[in-house]
Amino acid sequence: MKKFFASLNWKYIAFITVFLIICLELFGRVYLSFVLKKSSKPKFQFDSYRIYSHIPNFKEGDGKKDWILINGQGFRRSTEVSKVKPAGTFRVFFMGGSAAHGISSAPPYPLVHIYMNETVDYYLEQKLKALHPGKKIEVINAAVTGYQVFQHTAYLLSELLNYSPDLVVFMDGANDHYFTNPEFDYMGSNRYQFWKPRLQQPSIGGWFTYGWLWLSKYSGFARGVYSWMLNNDASSYDKLSIRSGKDFTSDAELIAAHKKTAQQDFLRAIEANLLILKANGVESIVSLQPMLVLRNKTNLSSAEKAFLHTDEAIQKLYPQVLAYLKTLSNKYQVPFVDLNPAFNTPALSQKQLLIDYCHLSPLGGETVANALLPSVDSIFVKSKLNLN
């Protein structure tokens, strides 16, 4: 054995090891930059209140132009936002998940970049300013990819209320409105609670995970591996939230399971948000996210038809979700906007409004802004007498 180790050329082994590490790193960075077109640096960090949040000052682009900019406060915005609201300013926060944030899904869906001037908040701010020239208006994108309604609650309490908003606009739906498993732990089994078992049940595997997390700050390859681990965990958790269609013997049983799930999950969270905002004198608007499967097939563009997949459960549950949201909005006397009808207007027939099953094209983002504008403008008009 001693002769064997003595015969080894350690310099050669060290060279091969370093060479392999360099190759893996180059492969990771090339794959992220040119295939996925993602930054080699992490976009998210752990958050004590919201599970995860944006890393301030993150940016993603091709070196010529950035399509995602996160400012110093963690908002998707190219300018900083003063925590002390300037006098005479009408401040709006736009909240939701990835569709509100402005991003596309991972493959097999087409990769599409949504630039800073193609998001809902950008269009909404520009349109509102056009209606009221000279007025100070801010529509701030506080949406975070993957967020569910209960995470908005923590965000409002821990940060956003400190910015003195006049209005908060919510756009949710795909991430949590169509769950059908009443046994699912809505908050505890969130798709990105991967860290919890690793902290509560320490193991060698936990150290391994932590090591990849640390390396992902510096290595493109490690970031790719860690992202794969997160997506794998997220997929496992997602399967818990929706019972298989085979589990239901009838549509009535499906709807009954959804009703129970909705009442103990997203409806309870929405109500909490509306109560919090009302208690703090902040106006709110609830809107239902548009989905490709809810768009009339005759209106689909050729691109949309290429990645359309039928989801009968969502089609069957959509009227129920609509009824629940209308009832809750009426209870608290806040505007409710179902964004799906706007995507089925004749004028937009054959136009691409979605870049996958739920994420918005630039035209889709402008369509959402147009649908929200009357409600936002109405609230602005009622409040502008108090502005300088």
pLDDT in tens, 347-359: 999 999 999 999 9
Delimit the domains of the chain by residue range. Answer: 2-31, 40-181+242-386
Distance, in Å, from the CA atom of 131 to the CA atom of 377, rounded to the nearest integer, reads: 8
Asked if the model's pLDDT at residue 20 lies above 90, the reply is no
Stretch 131-138: mean pLDDT: 95
Threshold 0.75, pTM exceeds: yes
DSSP E strands, 185-293: 283-288
pLDDT at 11: 73
Stretch 158-175: mean pLDDT: 97
Kindly report the average pLDDT of the chain as a whole number: 88
Distance, in Å, from the CA atom of 13 to the CA atom of 18, rounded to the nearest integer, reads: 9
Identify the burial level of 301 via C-beta atoms within 10 angstroms of its C-beta, where 0-12 means exposed, 13-18 middle and 19 or more buried: middle
pLDDT at 1: 54
pLDDT at 2: 55
Asked if the model's pLDDT at residue 367 lies above 60, the reply is yes
Q: Which two tokens stand for residue 237?
A: 């958790």
Query: Which range is most confident: 31-35, 207-211, 270-274?
Result: 270-274
Beta strand pairing call for 336-338 and 167-172: unpaired
**The domain 40-181+242-386 belongs to what CATH superfamily?**
SGNH hydrolase (3.40.50.1110)
Q: CA of 305: how far to CAs of 115, 156, 298, 361, in Å?
A: 24, 38, 10, 14
